[in-house]
A and B are shown apart, each in its own frame.
Chain A
Amino acid sequence: MNAVNASGWRPQMGEAGEGGAFKTASGDYGLMLEEALSFELGSSAKCGVDLDTLARPAAAGLSKFLRKAAPALPGLTEPEAVRHYTRLSRQNYAIDLGPFPLGSCTMKHNPRLNEKMARLPGFADVHPLQPQKTVEGALEVIEQLADWLITLTGMASVAMSPKAGAHGELCGLLCIRAALDARGEKRDVVLVPESAHGTNPATAAFAGFKVQSIPATPEGRVDVEALKAKLGPNVAGVMITNPNTCGLFEPEMKAIGDAVHAAGGYVYCDGANFNAIVGKVRPGDLGVDAMHINLHKTFSTPHGGGGPGAGPVVLSEALAPFAPLPFVSRGDDGRIHLVEEENRGEGHDQAFGRMVAFHGQMGMFTRALTYILSHGADGLRQVAEDAVLNANYVLRSCEDLLPAPFAKSGPCMHEALFSDAGLAEGFSTLDIAKGLIDEGFHPMTVYFPLVVKGAMLVEPTETESKAGLDRFIASLRSLAQRAKDGDQSLHSAPHFAPRRRLDETLAARKPVLVWQGTPGEPGTPALSEFGGS
């Protein structure tokens, strides 16, 4: 189990680097291919699309608005474009290549059936403003997914339109604001644990609340007594992540909820870590009033290099009337209706408004529903169990070498949290992370949560095999040992990635955010300044 890909091929971008005098004329090395910018490759006159050339001149009314010159954008023919993007793609790590154990991000396998279903013309080629009777199947997808989300969470309803997790958080807090307004109360404080993800305080501020921080206990949980001490007539609610960012379940969740409700506030639960409990625990049984569900995490819609995600928000009875437009609702006639501005008067006048144009992330709804139907109630439960099992396996397989600050208190949920305490002087989490890149893995989440110094948060997910985990564990143990032994080569890792460590200070001090130059002209400032390879 310790052989880390002893025989197979793997990228070795650095082979011509340190100690190797060999340099190719092209700058490429076998399958390791550099790629210029599209702006350096293409020209405005090239086109990869055959267009009708018989268009007549602009109508007279448009003449004074015409563009003086076509935009200075490079074009590529199809073979050139396919090659450009394919070469670029090979400079990315991805789930499809190996474990991607980013804590709190739930990088699980993305089933390809989901992609296929989302591309059915009946879903992909439908306009959001078509007459309702021509989109009944689309509305049914939204309704079926909503049904599953409500049942899995034990909540009263769900707002489907938020575009991402942070957008869902905003939706939940705006529901709370609307509910408070309806009660005629001005409460302006939201309590957020210090271990929370940065979006929680940012969202609370965005929604017009003041943020007060709640400390964590030495066991990595919310300090319930400190929280209760802050409750009062000015507290609108709390934002709790459960399972929390330390990878632990908050056992006092129900008590927290009861105390918050008794004080007149609402409980927002950050559902980023729902993957650990889906099918095992219903947040609605724990006193939650609102919780967003990252469809791109638990329900495996692809992360796509940073979005798009989707963040539906399940709501309690108390908040359900305030959900934003538009939404689908099954009428007394058994038919599904789309509720939007035009018909909100029919019993939905408390909706707090609208968060997006159109209906939300339909393309993600079809993928998530496909995923859910594939797993079923039994499979989803198995997802949570295997995710938690995999994390505990990593935890117990590494804790003798890497301190696990909260592991003494019991098992973790779907994430194993380590710290960099005990490494040799001058070695830290960053060295382990960059070393993992050389080992052929994506690093774990680093320096988060902030409550643990040098945090390393490992979320294997349920779609890693035991053999895959064993390989990852062997690499992590090897790196921990090298960092304990003071192996200096770790400081300059990664050695074998498409790039060495990048100068982020330069990027921030002198921001270069767009390419300057004329398409298709080589030797532009960008290239000559930086030399290429």
Chain B
Amino acid sequence: MRYLPLTPADRAEMLGVIGAASVDDLFVDVPAEARLSGPIEGLPAHASEMAVERHMSALAAKNLSAGTAPFFIGAGAYRHHVPASVDHLIQRGEFLTAYTPYQPEIAQGTLQVLFEFQTQVARLFGTDIANASMYDGSTACWEAILMASRVTRKVRAVLSSGLHPHYAEVVRTMAKFTEDEIVSLKPELVAEADDAAVIAAIDDKTSCVVVQYPDVMGRIPDLAAIAEAAHAKGALLIAVVTEPVALGMIEAPGNLGADIVVGEGQSLGVGLQFGGPYLGLFGCREKFVRQMPGRLCGQTVDAEGKRGFVLTLSTREQHIRREKATSNICTNSGLCALAFSIHLTLLGGEGLAQLAAVNHDKAQTLIERLAKVPGVTVLNQAYFNEATVVLPRDAREVVRDLADRKVLGGVSLGRLFPEDSDLHRGLLVAATETVTDEDIETFARELEGVLA
């Protein structure tokens, strides 16, 4: 077995030191009836690297990977070009095979990266501070709602209808088990985000409003107006960003009055990976720091006065506060945070702005072309790299038909909102810098064919 260094002679010698006759003697505490006498039946034995590679490659080949087809899917996960150096660097063994930096003297690499990451996220979001990351955008969103409850001592959260339905479902699921009241607004196939409905739903008992920016249909809500209305009632504005590249172009939520900004960092550095692992981003006002969930890295000095970094304010966390912790989260998405941070460092502020401009340019080309397909209308007044088009029939079938023609042509709103039949003709399409003009032309022609 290529991963097990002990030889039979080693094992015999070690048993001698221990004073045991056999390895089974070390399992005496396991009741005899629960001990298996040999390998579990019905499962294959060990396999060579070559054999395993063959098996896994065959499974991978059954998937239509995004790079092999015209690809226009977004809805909370975006395909961007990740520079080759990102994957090389995260595979450095010192990053890949390190643990949580609990021994800071020998974990300054990870810790400094987290400090840089926190600064990047805070600047991107326009918040005072940010944490060292969460599992993903959806869980960060729920953690933000809980934090808003702690800060405001109120438990009524209003969810904009433009919040990604998976995020909303996570929130509703978790709220079933807490005392939080969740108000979910009904999505509609209209050109503008539901700002007015959100503002109307805020009352004195409201702890927070949760608004996605850009929203799940690609529309862009007026965060400043919502923030003002929320603050007037003593509620917090939680902005949710599922496409951080957008913030290279549109104003940072923190600069528009959002109190907590959470998001999905997958777009930068992480890749699609069929949904995970992803990267939860979490930033907020500095005055809420003691109520934040998740790990925080802070700057300090060592015994010789050199600058160094440590995990800090950990009395908020489960390993100290146990049942009184701000969250049960015990980890972050360290390696994904590293990938995000490297990608963003390669881009820089101006580079991110340019990347965003290219995305928006591609999206305009896509939307203008699709608008020329007979029967197709464009929903959005404004959009960044993703928008909703309305088809003459249920978009779910259209997406499947397009896949038969080897075009990954967006996400049907019917899949995202199965219970809202008013939306089922909606098709969400995204274009990033990875899309070519030929891809757009192929998509438009195949869509014409499918709809004909």
- Direct contact between the two chains A and B in their complex (CB within 8 A): yes
| B347 with A526: CB separation less than 8 A | no
| A73 with B29: CB separation less than 8 A | no
Contact of A137 among B35, B63, B89 (CB under 8 A): B63
Interface assignment of A502: CB less than 8 Å from any CB of chain B: yes
| B273 with A126: CB separation less than 8 A | yes
A68–B256 Cα gap in the complex (Å)? Answer: 11
Interface assignment of B161: CB less than 8 Å from any CB of chain A: no
| B321 with A202: CB separation less than 8 A | yes
| A533 with B306: CB separation less than 8 A | yes
Interface assignment of A195: CB less than 8 Å from any CB of chain B: no
Question: Whole-angstrom distance from the CB of B186 to the nearest CB of chain A?
Answer: 16
Of A2-10, A375-383, A417-425, A479-487, the one touching chain B: A375-383
| A67 with B344: CB separation less than 8 A | no
Closest residue of B by beta carbon distance from A252? B31
| A308 with B135: CB separation less than 8 A | yes
- Chain A contacts of B98 at CB under 8 A? 92-95, 303-305
Q: How many residues of B contact A (CB 8 A)?
A: 211
| A167 with B97: CB separation less than 8 A | no
| A504 with B300: CB separation less than 8 A | yes
Question: Whole-angstrom distance from the CB of B215 to the nearest CB of chain A?
Answer: 12
Given A206-B328, A305-B100, A389-B11, do A411 and B272 touch, yes or no (CB 8 Å)?
no
| B45 with A378: CB separation less than 8 A | yes
Given A364-B277, A369-B56, A396-B19, do A504 and B312 touch, yes or no (CB 8 Å)?
yes
Known: A208-B178, A497-B106. 18 other contacts (CB 8 A): A68-B251, A94-B95, A124-B273, A151-B43, A152-B43, A164-B329, A199-B328, A355-B139, A357-B166, A358-B275, A374-B2, A375-B46, A379-B1, A386-B6, A389-B11, A411-B20, A442-B99, A531-B307
- Chain B contacts of A67 at CB under 8 A? 247-252, 353
| B5 with A306: CB separation less than 8 A | no
Contact of A515 among B41, B119, B324, B350 (CB under 8 A): B119
Closest residue of A by beta carbon distance from B299? A512
| B63 with A73: CB separation less than 8 A | no
Question: Whole-angstrom distance from the CB of A92 to the nearest CB of chain B?
Answer: 4
- Chain B contacts of A364 at CB under 8 A? 276-277
Interface assignment of A429: CB less than 8 Å from any CB of chain B: no
Q: How many residues of A contact B (CB 8 A)?
A: 210
Given A308-B334, A466-B10, do A163 and B5 touch, yes or no (CB 8 Å)?
no
Question: Whole-angstrom distance from the CB of B89 to the nearest CB of chain A?
Answer: 5
Interface assignment of A30: CB less than 8 Å from any CB of chain B: no
| A466 with B13: CB separation less than 8 A | yes
8 Å CB interface, B320-354 against A = 320-325, 327-336, 338, 341-342, 344-354
Interface assignment of A116: CB less than 8 Å from any CB of chain B: yes
Question: Whole-angstrom distance from the CB of B351 to the nearest CB of chain A?
Answer: 4
- Interchain Cβ contacts within 8 Å, total number: 733
- Chain B contacts of A511 at CB under 8 A? 289, 296, 298, 312-313
Contact of A393 among B14, B176, B305 (CB under 8 A): B14
| B135 with A163: CB separation less than 8 A | yes
Given A125-B67, A280-B27, do A503 and B336 touch, yes or no (CB 8 Å)?
no
- Chain B contacts of A434 at CB under 8 A? 105
- Chain B contacts of A49 at CB under 8 A? 81, 83, 346-347, 351, 355
Question: Whole-angstrom distance from the CB of B77 to the nearest CB of chain A?
Answer: 6
Of A99-107, A226-234, A259-267, the one touching chain B: A99-107
Complex A-B, nearest 10 residue pairs according to Cβ-Cβ distance, in ascending order:
A75-B348, A353-B173, A122-B60, A358-B275, A304-B335, A137-B62, A96-B93, A128-B275, A308-B277, A61-B382
Contact of A138 among B63, B130, B305 (CB under 8 A): B63
Interface assignment of A522: CB less than 8 Å from any CB of chain B: no
Interface assignment of A218: CB less than 8 Å from any CB of chain B: no
| A305 with B99: CB separation less than 8 A | yes
Residue contacts A-B, CB under 8 angstroms, 6 given: A38-B345, A97-B93, A166-B318, A206-B328, A302-B97, A503-B302
Interface assignment of A477: CB less than 8 Å from any CB of chain B: no
Given A96-B93, A130-B403, A134-B63, do A78 and B3 touch, yes or no (CB 8 Å)?
no
Interface assignment of A207: CB less than 8 Å from any CB of chain B: yes
Given A51-B358, A78-B85, A92-B108, do A120 and B400 touch, yes or no (CB 8 Å)?
no
Contact of A356 among B247, B276, B357 (CB under 8 A): B276
Closest residue of A by beta carbon distance from B44? A376
Contact with A along B139-176 (1 / 0, CB 8 A): 10000000000000000000000001111011011101
Contact with B along A61-85 (1 / 0, CB 8 A): 1100111101111111010011011
Given A74-B349, A302-B97, do A397 and B105 touch, yes or no (CB 8 Å)?
no
| A281 with B60: CB separation less than 8 A | no
Interface assignment of B452: CB less than 8 Å from any CB of chain A: no
Given A46-B348, A502-B105, A507-B299, do A82 and B89 touch, yes or no (CB 8 Å)?
yes
Given A73-B123, A205-B323, A306-B295, do A92 and B94 touch, yes or no (CB 8 Å)?
yes
| B357 with A303: CB separation less than 8 A | no
| A75 with B53: CB separation less than 8 A | no
A61–B249 Cα gap in the complex (Å)? Answer: 13
A341–B251 Cα gap in the complex (Å)? Answer: 34
8 Å CB interface, B6-24 against A = 6-7, 10-11, 13-15, 17-20, 23
| B63 with A61: CB separation less than 8 A | no
Question: Whole-angstrom distance from the CB of A277 to the nearest CB of chain B?
Answer: 7
- Chain A contacts of B109 at CB under 8 A? 88-92, 305
| B345 with A48: CB separation less than 8 A | yes
Contact of A42 among B36, B38, B345 (CB under 8 A): B345
Given A70-B353, A119-B87, do A514 and B118 touch, yes or no (CB 8 Å)?
yes
- Chain A contacts of B317 at CB under 8 A? 198
Interface assignment of B236: CB less than 8 Å from any CB of chain A: no
| A507 with B300: CB separation less than 8 A | yes
Closest residue of A by beta carbon distance from B384? A62
A306–B55 Cα gap in the complex (Å)? Answer: 30
A207–B109 Cα gap in the complex (Å)? Answer: 35
| B55 with A373: CB separation less than 8 A | yes
Interface assignment of A172: CB less than 8 Å from any CB of chain B: no
Closest residue of A by beta carbon distance from B130? A514
Closest residue of B by beta carbon distance from A115? B91
A370–B53 Cα gap in the complex (Å)? Answer: 8
8 Å CB interface, B190-232 against A = 220
- Chain B contacts of A526 at CB under 8 A? 299, 307
8 Å CB interface, B65-88 against A = 65-68, 71, 73, 75-77, 79, 81, 83, 85, 87-88
| B333 with A55: CB separation less than 8 A | no
- Chain A contacts of B105 at CB under 8 A? 434, 437, 494, 497-502
Interface assignment of A415: CB less than 8 Å from any CB of chain B: no
| A279 with B334: CB separation less than 8 A | no
8 Å CB interface, A240-268 against B = 248-251, 254
Contact with A along B235-272 (1 / 0, CB 8 A): 00000000000011111100100000000100000011
| B108 with A91: CB separation less than 8 A | yes
- Chain A contacts of B318 at CB under 8 A? 166, 198-199, 201-203
Given A71-B124, A354-B169, do A442 and B247 touch, yes or no (CB 8 Å)?
no
